[in-house]
Each structure stands twice: as structure tokens, then as C-alpha cells.
Amino acid sequence: MDLHLYFGNEFIEYKISKCNNETIKQPNTIKIQNGYKCPDHQYKTRMISRSPLIIYIEKFLTKDEMKHLIELAEPWFQPSTIFDKDGILVLDKHRTSSTASIERHETPIVKCIEQRFAEFQGNVDVEYLEPLQVVKYVETQEFKPHFDWFTDLDAIDKIGQRITTFFTYLQSNCSQAATEFLNIKFNKALHKRFCDILICDKNSAERGIRFRPLAGNSIFWFNIDEQGKGDRLTIHAGRPPIKDGYKIGLNTWTHTKRVPVKLRINEDKPVNRS
């Protein structure tokens, strides 16, 4: 049985079951392969913003999981792309990082990670997650201010709107290369207590909140409001690393429709419009 959660005219499905005539949510079962078992994972959450909803998750991935994802991605990195106004994947100077997609359920470890992202949202069906995307930034590479929600109606009709985002840091060798939410201005009274995860410096009052690239930690946010409209407060940027620096992260998006397994950012050859 499926439970539908509505966003405007769209819905996403949750896995539920019946027990003694009582309907309850229940995690999807992950088949164990080669003796691997999903870890009984512990993490800590911190509410950063209520509108838009932004939750910071500490220790969301383990060291072994991060290493595994990087090793899977390494042979497949290609120049990152963006969707243009016509819904076509293109190369653009707006986004200059490298990207590699991970096959859905590619390994037992990947299954466990996917399930954790789904369960964090109330046990969303994993099929509504876009295949995991590893992204790498080196010196001067960045993703300029952008939204994760779609404006192209054809893309929304095909694979649904991107309603939530997780950005998880996998590796970094510098204190810069922040993820900045430009329209959520740093407020000393509200944000000073988060200076262990936010950049707090003399420029903070003139900037949006900037998350430090701390490996294993994840930023989760809703891209759209309850009416299904894109939230303009979610505009954000992947800032470039400092000299000789690098950052590797993981993009995880949840859609309002099941995402075809064949949808991988690197599969279609992009048009070069940089």
C-alpha cells in the first residue's frame, strides 16, 4: 500500500504496511549481499532555518561510505552540466565542477545510503530519489547562484519537480569552498551558535549563511513550498576552493515522481554553450 504526500497537485509515495489492522510506516527491506549489513547509524540534526526548512545533519555518512562513493565515482567524472531553459543538458561556465553519477542500488553500501536519505524524509520510496551524484571542485571551480527546482515544464512532466535536496560533504582539504544560501542573511543573534559549521568572519553580516565543507555532514532543505512552487529563498552557490584546495560532495534530490533509473547526468552528451 502507498501513502501519498501532496505538494500542490503532485505527490510522493511512502512505504507502509498493516499490523493488527493498524496502518504503520515501515522501512523498505534491503537485501543483504556478500554478508554486508547496513550499519545502525547514529547522526545528529540541527535546525538552521524554518522557512525555508533547512536541517543540518552531522555524521550522516561514515568514513567507509564516503571512501566507497569516491572510489565508485572516480572513473566517471566529467564536466558538470546544467539544464538550460529548454530542458537540455549543457556545459556552461555557470557550473565548472566535475560530476559522476552512481547507479541506483549499484552496491549494497549504496543501497544503505539511498535508504538513509529516504528514511530521513519519513521513509520516501527510494524510486523517487534521483541517482546519487558525486561532484568535485578544485581551485577556481564553482557553481554560481542557482536553484535546484525545475522551471522547465517538460522536465517536471517527465520526472517531477525536485522537492528536496541533500548536499553531503565527502572530502575537503580547505576551510573555504562553502555552500552559501544568498537570500538567508547571516544574523548574529540567530546564527552565532552555529559558527562551528558556518563561516563566521568579518564579512558574515554582508553575506548569506555559508556552510563549511565538513566531511560526513549533510545539508537538507526543501526546494518548494506546500503549494508546489519553487522557493526563491533557496538560491545557493557552491563557492570555489582556495589555492590548491578541493572539495568533493554528494547531491541527492527527491522528486514528486518516480525517477527512471536510466536518468543519469553523464549519460547524455551535453551541448557546449560555455
Give counts: helices (H), strands (E), the chain.
Answer: 4, 18
Domain ranges of the chain: 54-255
Residue 194 neighbours by CB under 8 Å, 6+ apart: 46, 48, 56, 209
For residue 33, what pLDDT is reported? 56
Cell of residue 43, nine digits:
547522526
Three-state DSSP at 189 gives helix
Per residue in 163-210, pLDDT (tens digit) is 999 999 999 997 789 999 999 999 999 999 999 999 999 999 999 999
Nearest to 266 by CA among 4, 80, 64, 95: 80
What's the pLDDT at 23? 43
Torsion sign, CA atoms 250, 256, 262, 266: negative
What cell was used for 7? 505538494
Query: What is the per-residue pLDDT for 248?
Result: 98
What pLDDT is attached to residue 50? 94
- Angle among Cα 54, 132, 256 to the nearest 5 degrees reads 60
The crossing angle, in degrees rounded to 10, of helices 108-120 and 63-73 is: 120
pLDDT computed for residue 228 by the predictor: 84
* pLDDT reported for residue 13: 65
User: Whole-angstrom Cα distance, residue 66 to residue 244?
Assistant: 21
Q: Is 214 exposed, middle or buried (0-12, 13-18, 19+ CB in 10 A)?
A: middle
Q: Nine-digit cell at 20?
A: 493488527
Q: What is the pLDDT of residue 145?
A: 98
Q: Where are the alpha helices (DSSP H) in the chain?
A: 63-73, 108-120, 153-159, 188-191
Write out residues in the chain with pLDDT < 70, as ranges: 1-34, 262-274
CATH fold, domain 54-255, is Jelly Rolls (2.60.120)
Q: What is the pLDDT of residue 85?
A: 73
The single residue listed with the C-alpha cell 544574523 is 187
pLDDT of residue 227: 83
Query: CA 112 to CA 219: how far, in whole Å?
Result: 19
